[in-house]
Structure 1
Amino acid sequence: MDEIRKLERCVQDIRHTDPREDKKRIEETKGGLLADSYRWVLDNATFQQWQQDQHGRLLWVKGDPGKGKTMLLCGIIDELHSLLPRTALLAYFFCQATDLRINSATAVLRGLLYMLVKQQPSLVLHVRKKYDHAGKTMFEDANAWVALTEIFVDVLQDPQLSTTYLVIDALDECVTDLPKLLRFVAKQSSVSSRVKWLVSSRNWPDVEEQLERAGHRVRLSLELNAKSVAAAVDIFIQQKVDQLAQEKQYKAEVRSSVLQYLTSNANGTFLWVALVCQDLTATPKWNVLKKLALFPPGLDSLYRRMMQQISESDGAEICQQVLAATAILYRPVTILELTALVESLEDFVEDLESMRGIIGLCGSFLTLREDTVYFVHQSAKEFIFTNASHEVFPHGIEAAHQAIFSRSLAILSRTLHRDMYYLEALGTPIDNVQPPEPDPLGASRYPCAYWIDHLYYSKPMSQANGFSDLQIAGVVEEFIREKYLYWLEGLSLCKCVEKGVVSIARLWSLVQMWDRDGLTQLVQDARRFVMYHKGAIESYPLQIYASALLFSPTNSLIRRLFQHEEPEGITIVPSMSSSWSACLQTLEGHSNIVRSVSFSHDSTRLVSASHDSTVKMWDTKSGASLQSLEGHSDYVNSVAFSHDSTRLASASNDGTVRVWDASTKACLQTLDGHSDSVNSVAFSHDSTRLVSASHDKTIKIWDASSRTSVSNRTYLRTYVGAESPIREARGCSYVRS
């Protein structure tokens, strides 16, 4: 029973979202799935080639915005469900750029993995290998992508894996780490004939470039199948018009006019039809024909018309401010968060129903799901920046960032204080913390994570909008002096301390440009404080007021400012130095001796080699572990970055040198010409050659230009330390040192 509970807990922790529920929600949001609007693809030669040919392992469905790619994949999924044998596996995932839960590469793999283990429970054993040691955090921390890719590869190579179909919709809406996801799909789709991949995206060159590297691939372009798509749109129009006619009680001639207009102007675009019908739903039937003529063909033209309607409405100003804020926010926000962030919405803090009405006025661009505000489609957000920027941002995008920054700091200054969740016990672990109801941080979660980002992109040095850098510097200094520790507590409770570390580094780079020495020193001290105590703060929120203060230097500005928060009753305090040591960060993660370290040449990453047989890569800003490279069978003695920072090399006691891709962690080359342990390795300045030194008394120079995933044993030259005659053999020169 204990083992069963562990398995169930593991599966529950994999689940970040259930793609089956996302599929149902998407279909309901778009008005339901019409079989006749997608069945054309089942007879398409390209689709049949992918489905029936064992060599057709990757199908890429591509098309412009609004062409119905998502609903097409929903239909294909339903057909596969009915056609595949019961032993086959089918997993899918729907990316949406406007939904933080489902817009990252890790979310994609997590969703697919959840569906696979639900269908074939034995696959969870591959997850348990890592999960039993790390728990749920392995799916959420900085190493999540590394852990998930390793697990996923093991799953796909499982000899008991049934025939498997993997479907990913809207790759272009994977906001975080899309290049990693594309490389992973391209590589893995070429590995096993038992696994077929189906993906969709817009016609993006970057997507095409990566997927072109996949073997056994086929493409299905919706633009090249325009007749089939247009016929499907006509069916969709028929269904939407019938629904409108029934709900609004149209007369026959009105119904006919609506049907004809939509059919003539849809131009094979589902989204255009859906937006027009949404507007007609709120239009009285006596005004339908007059209103109908105002909808121009084409998505951009329709968005322009919708924007004009907003501009002419009584709520024009407030709608534009809502659109401006929503467009520049870094994630979808709740109504409560939006109300706090937009000054003109202050009067609606206790009137969420009116807020829903305001979002409704922006209905052509925004939608509400469970009281969270989203764009109706990524193309709507893009239209605002490319075609309506002067209307939505009358004072410029920087001014909009300035407004969000100012509101964020006002919210935080008003709401942050010690022990916001009433934990009381200083040792309460974050995993045991449950937000009270109502959540004191309900309106502060977004400002906590992103106030510095909005300050940075408001470009304060420009002195635009009447704010000088000195005025802003004064506001920032006051906040740090009065609220810094409470902000760190908020970050811990929101589980985004790592984001805070990166943000405070960004703030430090900004304040150095201001002529304000006191603020520069304060932010530098604040940065050292959070970097030094990051581990304790993110695991135990209230340790900010205990160990973090007590174990900071006596002259730390933050310690002195918040001395009144130190725990009472402690008679013996640790003896601390007066100032911060030279140590900026302590990076922990290796399980044995660390033998070598190297910075990337852009200084953003650090790589380390250890006797635990692994190489680890670290983010130098946050101190987060980014990747763990496994493959050596003995101690790793040396590691080096190439000068272009795209590759790294490691030398091991197993007698080999390995060359790795610094982005994907894939091993590109294994160089095994030494007869004893390899102690040192370095790249040439042009990154085309690699040199290694070994216990076998030789130095070898290797060709490092190859980027293919093959074992490469060709070396250019060997220098022998002992007395030896000059020999030429197999393209290798042996020379006295």
Structure 2
Amino acid sequence: MAELPDSIFVNPPDPPDPLLNILPYAVDASFSSYTLQHEPTCLPDTRIGLLEEIYKWADGQDERCIFWLNGLAGTGKSTIARTVARRYFEQHRFGASFFFSRCGGDASHADKFVTSIAVQLAQNIPDLYQYIYDAVGERSDIASQSLHDQWHQLVLRPLSKLGREGVRSYVVVVDALDECCDDRIIPIIIQLLAEAQSLEMVKLRVLLASRPEIPIRYGFRRIPDVAYRGFALHHTSPSIVDHDITLFLIYNLRLIGEECHLDADWPGGEVVTHLAGNASGLFIWAATACQFIREGRRFAAKRLETIIHSNSNAATAPEKHLDEIYIASLKHSIYTNYTDEEREDQYRTLRYTLGSIVVLFSPLSVNSLSRLLHVLKRDVDQTLEDLHAILDIPEDGRRPLRLHHPSFRDFLVNEDRCKDPNFWVNARQMHQKLADRCIQLMSTSLMQDICDVKAPGVRVASVESARVEQCLPPELQYACLYWIRHLQMSGAQLYDNDQVHQFLKVHLLHWLEVLSWMRRVSEGIYALNSLESIALTSNCPDLYAFVYDIKRFGLYNRPAIEQAPLQAYCSALVFAPIMSVVKKQFVDQVPGWMKRLPEVEKDWEAALQTIEGHLAAVRAVTFSPDGKLLASASSDKTVRLWDARTGAALQTLEGHSGTTTAVAFSPDGELLASASWDETTKTVRLWDTNTRAALQTLEGHSDYVEAVAFSPDGELLASASADRTVRLWDARTGASLQTLEGHSDYVKAVVFSSDGKLLASASADKTVKLWDARTGAALQTLKGHWGTITAVVFSPDCKLLASASWDETVRLWNTSTGGAALTLEGRSGTTIAVAFSPDGKLLASASADKTVRLWDTSTGDLLRILEGHSGTTTAVAFSPDGELLASASWDETVRLWDTRTGAALQMLEEHSGNISAVAFSPDDKLLASASADKTVRVWDTSVGAALRTLEGHSDYVEAVAFSPDGELLASASADKTVRLWDARTGAALRMLEGHSGTTTAVAFSPDCKLLASTSADKTVRLWDTSTGDLLQTLEGHSGTTTAVAFPPDGELLASTSADKTVRVWDARTGASLQTLEGHSDYVEAVAFSPDGKLLASASADKTVRLPSLSKRVAVSRSNFRPSVDVKGQWVSYNSEDVLWLPFDYRPTDVAVYGSIVGFGYSSGRVSFMEFVF
């Protein structure tokens, strides 16, 4: 179009600016970038009317801050955008630009959109520089925050500080927003740009050019009409467009004629008119035609004839005529003097090379492309040599190849458009070839510690990006990021032991390490979800099991691997469960400096991951309607948003001045409401989930706000308060509509039925009230609980209502009659929250006993107990598809559980009293449980079924233990006896009597010949397991003996007591060898290290001690260097972090003895690790 390719102003791509070292900057997105330097601007005397309109808007008093230039593909939007940017740059009134491109790279997404705008504003407006620089200093992490926070901190706030003097109107140009790869971000950007209207001291004019795609139109519908004006290029008068195209053709054909030494009057006015008519408004047609003719060089005139004599015109078939231009360009790239065999080879190479370029998810340079495709660079150069009409081929082989226009991609992969089979690219086959090449490249390039940092605790943030780029060339980064996506797009079938399976068996950890260096671990987890889906539909059970385990491995270890890539070989492997397929495959890669590994779980728990970040108890959690976001509320006064698929932190919403107690998404997911115990005004806040901006603060309650809920149509918001009322608000305007009164104590929970007809509220007055949601009329009061009701929720079909209470029950009510349908009792302490699964078949409850329980809503049966939190569980929520369950806890975490595999956790629901202890058999096939109901039950761990009930004790059973050979089971009871049972049959073998107080613990010697028991009578007794005879009574403790343990050789015995000591005895003679003191409260657990050299004790004083033994310590303390330490999440050596500790393995206390570390946990369990550096 009116385009001037030889008059471009080019800035250097990397100006020496401190901000560039702080803020991420998309170098190729600026209109004056090196990449865009050859892109044209409008010719003189073209687009006159439109440009005048734009300039009048930009220079005048029009209050509309956005000029939306929209048009169909090929209508010249980008050229106009470059023209406007250049004009205001030369007038020193240019603010910034961002030219999106679907070709990939930083210009294909919005990650660096705001920061790039901010950097350019600082460079182009001198008065603004310091304000932006200071804004970065105020929030050094701003580049990792939401686009909303970035826009306000880096753009709007600095601009608002400019004074009235001087020029105060600046133009920002945003081109091809429709080519942003994330459709969800597009409306957000439009909203942010519209906020420029709020500036008072300066006018920010935004020219936004795009196709009128759905996300664009949706974004403009969400902003006021007074914020923008629109102009549709495709509605411009055809005569004006034809005139401009004619000028464009005259200008470019004259240049071609001069270059090719053609006659001065070539090609003549009639030909130009004919060509302009064929273009019919498509500037891309005219531009491609001219480029095609120019590339013909001495055959330029012949190429012009080819175009003139084509069979269609753009007025009736614009796409068809454009396709003919593309076909002609491709045909002229094939040499005619080749043999048929050579020509076919050239066709094949062209399809392979061009096909790769058009299906790549991010552009690559010629150098990188040749290495990815495993083709010589000179062959790629020769293949593309005559395709400049289609491709932007930089002279520098390190810069990315780009299509001149995305329409070529659409043409080449559409068999109905590209009708020449020599050129048509089968996209699926091309994706398969690229997937294969990616896997092959990774297989030959990936290795452990690929960046050669050596130390396992080195953080990604501490390694310079230049080093990462040097070690990870672009083609390798591309392969690691996109191989699964290519595989998915190919529609390929997977098989056990195929190349995908073999690659993962060898290079999985290497791949995860590279993703970490690239800071793309979350994207790797997304990709694993896709790979799991492919494997699920393929006939490959072994590969599917491996991929599923990889996903669990990745989710569980994401925090470690994201921080320190080499933890993929350390923490990730060490703490993976015993049965993990990944652990079994790569266990030989555990570093040798970990001589002794800790005890870990047998298999993955139902918890997929533990999400950390809150600084205090998490009070509430909920999924967004589309299941992609997770919101949590905390006593740290914040609301946090998380990626529900990866657990990655997305945003922290701050503003409340007290504990945030509840969160709720609107049905369309656009709004988030939060309730709080704000210190002064008791408020509900509304947030925009796209921009993360605080929209409104709803005031009216006179006491703490406990809960919030949206109506199903999103029009109403209900809030429950300690002021004994429920308030209804207009969710869009924030206006208070009604106050529902009737409860006699604070209202703890509120919820709408899914049909929007009912509203239920739960209160400390021990009742649930049902209200008419539209009129506010009280309908029913449900009574039955005898404690505060903490939560209430409707079933999806509205037929049931569930309520949770401090009375330790969950009740199900019939909503039509108000009658109680079921009472669910689990002896779990106060039940704090409940949630129905989307299909209504399950009910989840959160309890003070730190568990989550799943119930069958039709029968009331307890199905499973999900354990893992270390504090009271406060909230539960199902994902929309019912596959995930989120729970929140006072332990400051949110846990995500897989509801499909949660059955792997065994539920001991058949005891009629509290369970006091459990023990696994040595082969893990059996589980014994001791209970206050005076029985011991034995369970099959594979199915969770109770096999037998062992009866005989006359009081509650305190402890159980299997013998090391699995043949015997011992139980200790408050009836002062110990009983021995046949572990396989359950037969009672003998009763051991002699203690004068409750027996509290039992332990077998390693050879199974001895049994030790502790008691409230302050003694330890040793028994002969074969006869039941009492062999020794060990006296010396001055308080209840609480635990006992043998070392591996069975020669010693250690006992703990309420007298705060540990005693060591000779197991053969009963002689007291040593009394170990130091604890300040009763000692509740004791364990020997696996080699028997060390003894660890855990106490109610929350410490673990590794006391020195007077005998049997083979190595003295002086032989160890005290260089190992544990601080927070890390084990360190010589003050350098070496091993990250997952949340479940962070001890409450630590004892270090040389290179041996004892970990004590809140459960009383003790674990050891030994390091050899």
Q: Which residue is 1:149 aligned to?
A: 151
> Does residue 249 in structure 1 map to residue 256 in structure 2?
no
CA distance in 2 between counterparts of 1:321 and 1:43 reads 46
Q: Which residue is 1:615 aligned to?
A: 639
> Does residue 683 in structure 1 map to residue 718 in structure 2?
no
Number of residue pairs matched by the alignment:
699
Measure how far apart 1:521 and its partner are. Answer: 2.5
Measure how far apart 1:695 and its partner are. Answer: 1.4
Q: Which residue is 1:164 aligned to?
A: 170
> Does residue 207 in structure 1 map to residue 216 in structure 2?
yes
Contact kept, 8 Å, 2:329 with 2:387, in 1: the verdict is: no
CA distance in 2 between counterparts of 1:133 and 1:209 reads 32
Of 289, 294, 299, 1:276 maps to 289
Q: Which residue is 1:238 aligned to?
A: 250
Of 294, 313, 323, 1:303 maps to 323
Q: Which residue is 1:67 aligned to?
A: 75
CA distance in 2 between counterparts of 1:170 and 1:663 reads 21
CA distance in 1 between counterparts of 2:470 and 2:21 reads 26
Of 467, 470, 487, 1:455 maps to 487
Amino acid at match of 1:245: G
> Does residue 322 in structure 1 map to residue 322 in structure 2?
no
State the TM-score, normalized to the length of structure 1: 0.85
Superposed, 1:267-666 pairs within 5 Å as 267-285=280-298, 288-289=301-302, 291-294=304-307, 297-298=313-314, 300=319, 301-307=321-327, 309-310=329-330, 313=334, 314=343, 315-342=346-373, 346-348=374-376, 352-369=377-394, 370-371=396-397, 372-386=400-414, 387-388=416-417, 391=421, 396-431=426-461, 432-433=463-464, 434-435=466-467, 439=471, 441-460=473-492, 468-470=493-495, 474-654=498-678, 655-666=682-693
Residue 627 of structure 2 aligns to a residue in which SS?
coil
Q: Which residue is 2:826 aligned to?
A: none
Residue 254 of structure 1 aligns to a residue in which SS?
coil
**Structure 1, residues 167-220: CA drift from partner, whole Å, max 9, x if none?**
212222222344334542464154336332221112435423432533332223
Choose between structure 1 and 2 for higher RCO, CA contacts under 8 A separated by at least 6 residues. 1
Of 80, 97, 101, 1:96 maps to 101
Measure how far apart 1:485 and its partner are. Answer: 0.9
CA distance in 1 between counterparts of 2:55 and 2:712 reads 48
CA distance in 1 between counterparts of 2:384 and 2:542 reads 44
Superposed, 1:171-186 pairs within 5 Å as 171-176=177-182, 177-185=184-192
**Structure 1, residues 591-617: CA drift from partner, whole Å, max 9, x if none?**
443221112244322110123332222
CA distance in 2 between counterparts of 1:189 and 1:285 reads 53
CA distance in 1 between counterparts of 2:694 and 2:470 reads 50
Of 698, 708, 712, 2:735 maps to 712
Measure how far apart 1:362 and its partner are. Answer: 4.1
**Structure 1, residues 544-563: CA drift from partner, whole Å, max 9, x if none?**
22232223233332222222
Q: Which residue is 1:23 aligned to?
A: 32
Measure how far apart 1:72 and its partner are. Answer: 1.7
Residue 554 of structure 1 aligns to a residue in which SS?
coil
Of 191, 195, 198, 1:191 maps to 198
Amino acid at match of 2:180: C
State the TM-score, normalized to the length of structure 2: 0.55
Contact kept, 8 Å, 1:405 with 1:454, in 2: the verdict is: yes
Amino acid at match of 1:111: S
CA distance in 1 between counterparts of 2:88 and 2:486 reads 45
Contact kept, 8 Å, 1:336 with 1:442, in 2: the verdict is: no
Measure how far apart 1:288 and its partner are. Answer: 0.8
- Range that drifts further, 258-267 or 231-240: 258-267
Shift in alpha-carbon separation, 1:49–1:719, aligned structure 2, 3 A:
farther
**Structure 1, residues 520-542: CA drift from partner, whole Å, max 9, x if none?**
33222211222222222223222
Shift in alpha-carbon separation, 1:158–1:284, aligned structure 2, 3 A:
closer
Measure how far apart 1:448 and its partner are. Answer: 0.6
CA distance in 1 between counterparts of 2:133 and 2:636 reads 21
Contact kept, 8 Å, 1:537 with 1:544, in 2: the verdict is: yes
CA distance in 1 between counterparts of 2:134 and 2:611 reads 26
CA distance in 2 between counterparts of 1:334 and 1:225 reads 40
Amino acid at match of 2:224: A
Residue 587 of structure 1 aligns to a residue in which SS?
strand
Question: Normalized per residue, which structure has more strand?
Answer: 2
Amino acid at match of 1:302: L
Question: Normalized per residue, which structure has more helix?
Answer: 1
Contact kept, 8 Å, 1:720 with 1:734, in 2: the verdict is: no
Shift in alpha-carbon separation, 1:394–1:50, aligned structure 2, 3 A:
closer
Measure how far apart 1:318 and its partner are. Answer: 2.1
Measure how far apart 1:21 and its partner are. Answer: 5.4
CA distance in 1 between counterparts of 2:232 and 2:634 reads 48
Q: Which residue is 2:786 aligned to?
A: none
CA distance in 1 between counterparts of 2:661 and 2:86 reads 53
Residue 512 of structure 1 aligns to a residue in which SS?
helix
Q: Which residue is 1:219 aligned to?
A: 230
Measure how far apart 1:674 and its partner are. Answer: 0.8
Contact kept, 8 Å, 2:279 with 2:285, in 1: the verdict is: yes
Residue 576 of structure 1 aligns to a residue in which SS?
coil
**Structure 1, residues 634-660: CA drift from partner, whole Å, max 9, x if none?**
321111223444433211113122233
Shift in alpha-carbon separation, 1:127–1:499, aligned structure 2, 3 A:
farther
CA distance in 2 between counterparts of 1:26 and 1:59 reads 26
Please identify the structure whose Cα radius of gyration is greater. Answer: 2
Contact kept, 8 Å, 1:718 with 1:733, in 2: the verdict is: no
**Structure 1, residues 553-583: CA drift from partner, whole Å, max 9, x if none?**
3333222222222222333433333333443
Amino acid at match of 1:530: G
Contact kept, 8 Å, 2:577 with 2:600, in 1: the verdict is: yes
Contact kept, 8 Å, 2:351 with 2:424, in 1: the verdict is: no
Residue 420 of structure 1 aligns to a residue in which SS?
coil
Contact kept, 8 Å, 2:246 with 2:273, in 1: the verdict is: no
Shift in alpha-carbon separation, 1:379–1:131, aligned structure 2, 3 A:
farther
Measure how far apart 1:69 and its partner are. Answer: 2.0
Residue 673 of structure 1 aligns to a residue in which SS?
strand
Residue 409 of structure 1 aligns to a residue in which SS?
helix
Q: Which residue is 2:65 aligned to?
A: 57
Measure how far apart 1:234 and its partner are. Answer: 3.3
Residue 355 of structure 1 aligns to a residue in which SS?
helix
**Structure 1, residues 312-368: CA drift from partner, whole Å, max 9, x if none?**
8333232223333222221112324433454xxx341xxx23312222344443322
Q: Which residue is 1:464 aligned to?
A: none
Shift in alpha-carbon separation, 1:330–1:89, aligned structure 2, 3 A:
closer
Q: Which residue is 2:110 aligned to?
A: 105
Residue 435 of structure 2 aligns to a residue in which SS?
helix
CA distance in 2 between counterparts of 1:186 and 1:147 reads 13
> Does residue 674 in structure 1 map to residue 674 in structure 2?
no
- Range that drifts further, 616-625 or 203-212: 203-212
**Structure 1, residues 45-101: CA drift from partner, whole Å, max 9, x if none?**
x65245313323221122232332222222223333455xx6x66222222221421
Contact kept, 8 Å, 2:552 with 2:608, in 1: the verdict is: yes
Contact kept, 8 Å, 1:681 with 1:692, in 2: the verdict is: yes
Measure how far apart 1:401 and its partner are. Answer: 2.3
Measure how far apart 1:486 and its partner are. Answer: 1.2
Residue 248 of structure 2 aligns to a residue in which SS?
helix
